[in-house]
């Protein structure tokens, strides 16, 4: 999975740097700017929430998986736009590994 995310990050960066916004969805998002990218992240987050709620009441597991994939993808576009690597996210998660979520959250307030 990690290799797939790394490969996707490379493709997103390539599209950000040199793709034509007429032929590349990612390039078109970058051209439209951060607000458009954030709008897409918010839209996908909402769709993920709705799909999760639907799953509890008999909805499609595959629909939820698809929405989470869309959310991850658009989140990665956002990170790329802001020049934040997925390695930074991985390091943050690694730093939190083995720490109680309650402890970690309390430590952020200090």
Q: What is the pLDDT of residue 58?
A: 94
* Residue 73 burial (C-beta neighbours within 10 Å; 0-12, 13-18, 19+): middle
Q: What is the pLDDT of residue 100?
A: 80
- Please report whether residue 4 resides in a domain: no
Domain tally for the chain?
1
Q: What is the pLDDT of residue 64?
A: 97
Are 55 and 62 in contact by the 8 Å Cβ rule? The answer is no
Cα dist from 11 to 14, 38, 50, whole Å: 5, 20, 29
Q: What is the pLDDT of residue 105?
A: 76
Instruction: Report how far residue 86's alpha carbon sits from residue 90's, in angstroms, rounded to the nearest whole number.
Output: 6
Mean pLDDT by 10 residues, the chain (110 residues): 90 93 95 97 98 95 98 98 95 88 75
Looking up residue 104, the CATH number of its domain turns out to be: 1.10.287.1080
Using alpha carbons, select from 3, 22, 6, 1 the residue that is nearest to residue 76: 6
Q: What is the pLDDT of residue 84?
A: 97
Q: What is the pLDDT of residue 110?
A: 63
- Please report whether residue 19 resides in a domain: no
Tokens for 30, please give them: 């970058």
Question: What is the extent of the structural domain holding 60?
Answer: 32-108
């Amino acid at each position: 999975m990690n290799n797939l995310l790394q490969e996707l990050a490379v493709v997103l960066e390539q599209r950000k740097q040199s793709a034509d916004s007429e032929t590349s969805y990612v390039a078109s998002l970058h051209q439209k700017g951060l607000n458009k990218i954030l709008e897409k992240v918010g839209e996908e987050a909402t769709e993920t929430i709705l799909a999760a709620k639907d799953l509890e009441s008999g909805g499609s597991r595959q629909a939820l998986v698809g929405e989470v994939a869309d959310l991850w993808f658009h989140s990665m576009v956002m990170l790329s736009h802001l020049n934040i690597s997925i390695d930074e996210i991985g390091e943050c998660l690694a730093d939190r590994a083995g720490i109680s979520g309650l402890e970690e959250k309390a430590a952020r307030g200090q």
